[in-house]
Amino acid sequence: MTQAPLHPLDHALQLEPAGEHRFRGHTSQAYWNMIGPFGGATAAAMLQAALIHPERLGDPGALTVNFAGPIAEGAFEIVARPSRTNRSTQHWHLEVLQNGEVTTTGSAVFAVRRETWNCGEATMPDVPAAQTLPKMGGFAPVKWINSYDMRAVRGAKPMAAPGTENPDSLTQFWIRDEPARTPDYAAIAAWCDAFYPRIFLKRAGFVPAGTVSLTTYFHADAATLAALGDRHVLGSAQARVFRQGFFDQTAEIWSPDGQLLATSHQIVYYKE
């Protein structure tokens, strides 16, 4: 019986034990950016190391990734070490190393989710359904975009009239993995970094920029993610301020049923 090939994301997330609290992985061309791996793939791999760790407790509640230096094509190691385990929460120290140097640092909080009183104040944007919108094209030489089926609602490309700026930096699109894949926490971590830098849209063109730190908060349990199947989710992202070489980005990931699955916040460096 022929075994089905691994999904590109599962292939990118393949990690082998490499010692106590250490795992060995390899960069994936399917998730390659212009000069290095797509940051979302790096975040997903770091989270995956904690997810497969034998001492793991519960499910992810928060993940912070700090991009300290470039990652070259090839092998890397991830350190995933539980710093403290309490009754219902577990705190993690994370690092990515390549050739003995730290390229990425991070932390995570896992938690045992329990049924409690619930209330949601955020409201899902009112947008057209995914199936009514065309699939977005890729942007050469950015390969990772081809690993997603993205359907733009607004802000798909950073266009404006010559000499002008866009009135806001809001992008909204439907997204799912390509080929379609039932999402898990690693996929959510990657989706939260699937928005191009907000300054591209605000200034209507390319500006050298890169994420410095990204924090993702997970608001759904594993059963909720499994119930999504191969449906698209809605991503929305906008900056609040551009100042002195840095801007922020706040993002939301929504199920098609209106459940807020994750939120993320990042700080991004730019120069003119």
List the domain boundaries for the chain.
Answer: 8-113+132-270
pTM of the model: 0.95
Of 196, 176, 195, 179, give the one whose Cα is nearest residue 252. Answer: 195
> What is the DSSP code (8-state) at residue 38?
-
Please compute Rg for the chain using Cα positions.
18
Are 229 and 182 in contact by the 8 Å Cβ rule? The answer is yes
Average pLDDT value for the chain: 95
List C-alpha distances in Å: 121 to 115, 234, 258. Answer: 18, 17, 12
pLDDT at 2: 63
- By the 8 A CB rule, do 108 and 64 touch? yes
pLDDT digits (tens, 9 = 90+) for 156-208: 877 776 677 899 999 999 999 999 999 999 999 999 999 999 999 999 888 99
Q: How many residues in the chain?
A: 272
225: part of which helix (H) or strand (E)? helix 222-226
In this structure, the number of other CB atoms found within 10 A of the CB of residue 152 comes to 16
Query: Percent of the chain, pLDDT > 90?
Result: 88
Contact call for residues 220 and 118 (beta carbons, < 8 A): no
Does the pLDDT of residue 1 top 60, yes or no? no
Per-residue pLDDT of 68-90, as tens digits, reads: 999 999 999 999 999 999 999 99
Residue 154 neighbours by CB under 8 Å, 6+ apart: 170, 171, 172
Q: What pLDDT score was predicted for residue 19?
A: 96
Is residue 267's pLDDT more than 90?
yes
Span 8-113+132-270: which CATH code? 2.40.160.210
The yes-or-no verdict on residue 99 having pLDDT over 90 is yes
DSSP-assigned states of every residue in 196-222: PPHHHHHHTS---EEEEEEEEEE-S-H
Helix (H), strand (E) at residue 48: helix 39-51
pLDDT at 172: 98
The count of other CB atoms within 10 Å of the CB of residue 145 is 18
197-253 pLDDT, tens digit per residue, is 999 999 988 899 999 999 999 999 999 999 999 999 999 999 999 999 999 999 999
So what's the pLDDT on residue 158?
79
- Within 13 Å and on the Cβ side, how many CA atoms surround 193? 30
